[in-house]
Amino acid sequence: MASEGPRNLILEEGIFLLEDPEIGRRVHEFDENKFPFQTEECLDFIEKNILNDTRIRETVKFCVDRPGLGFLKALGPNPYHVFCFNSTTGSKEGIDQTSSKKDDANLLVVQLLSPGSEMVYYKASHQYPLKVKPASIGLLEVQKESLEKGHIERLEVTMKDGGFAIVDGRLGFGITQGMGIMVGFTVEEKVKLWPKMRLLGTKSVKQKLMRMTHDGIYMNFGFVDLPSRGEGDKV
């Protein structure tokens, strides 16, 4: 798959998506394991679903110059609300001042979706100023009246067996059913200014992360130091 096709869809519509039962299965397993974000299992999850998946990895690298992985977040259903991940220079009234120019996303989000996920996307909403306010889940909530403009189109998607979507961070979306792991990317210089995601500072985790840094994607992780326990994995 050429990366230019997905990039053009993200540029025009704000979203590129595919069903993929294998990704759905892995997301379900990650959920069943209670989202072990601080462990080596998290790095394995990123490696299998992002770095080793050429469809996703090459699209990210094609859309974001010198990309850095900046956040991981699990989101569940919230059927009555629409969210987006970022807006630029909002006013006191909460109006997003994002340019309507069709340019590359300064925040790209890979949504890894569980089997049975039902999503709503507002295609082309990334091209318009949206009225937003902070949401309790750490995102921005989009006021629905600001989605009734221009060429914005509501798209309902059911991922029966799971899959993934790659979205411009400005795009309005909602989760009606199921859940997703959100993986955020922006340029490395910006990611380095964000708070680091924390991993348990075991020897195996550090070695794993070191092996994963050669794919041209900066990984914004830090470590939680652990006391030495004599037996088992050393810190």
Domain boundaries, the chain: 4-224
Q: What is the mean pLDDT of residues 73-86?
A: 96
Handedness of CA 33, 15, 20, 109 (dihedral sign): negative
Mean pLDDT of the chain: 88
Residue 1 binned pLDDT confidence (cut-offs 50, 70, 90):
very low
Q: What is the pLDDT of residue 214?
A: 66
DSSP calls for 60-85: HHHHSSSEEEEEEEEE---TT--EES
Q: What is the pLDDT of residue 82?
A: 97
Handedness of CA 159, 165, 169, 171 (dihedral sign): negative
pLDDT over threshold 80, residue 121? yes
Q: What is the pLDDT of residue 96?
A: 35
Q: Is 187 helix (H, G, I), strand (E, B) or coil?
A: strand
> CA–CA separation, 193 vs 220, rounded Å?
9
If you count DSSP H runs as helices and E runs as strands, how many of each does the chain have, helices first?
6, 14
Interacting residues of 35 by C-beta distance below 8 A, sequence separation 6+: 74
> CA–CA separation, 52 vs 67, rounded Å?
16
pLDDT in tens, 48-64: 999 999 999 999 999 99
Q: What is the mean pLDDT of residues 110-119?
A: 98
How does DSSP classify residue 51? I
In terms of CATH architecture, what is 4-224? Answer: Sandwich (2.60)
- Higher pLDDT residue, 95 or 166? 166
- Cβ atoms of residues 110 and 16 within 8 Å: no
Q: What is the pLDDT of residue 94?
A: 35
Q: What is the mean pLDDT of residues 93-101?
A: 38
> CA–CA separation, 64 vs 56, rounded Å?
12
> CA–CA separation, 142 vs 172, rounded Å?
7
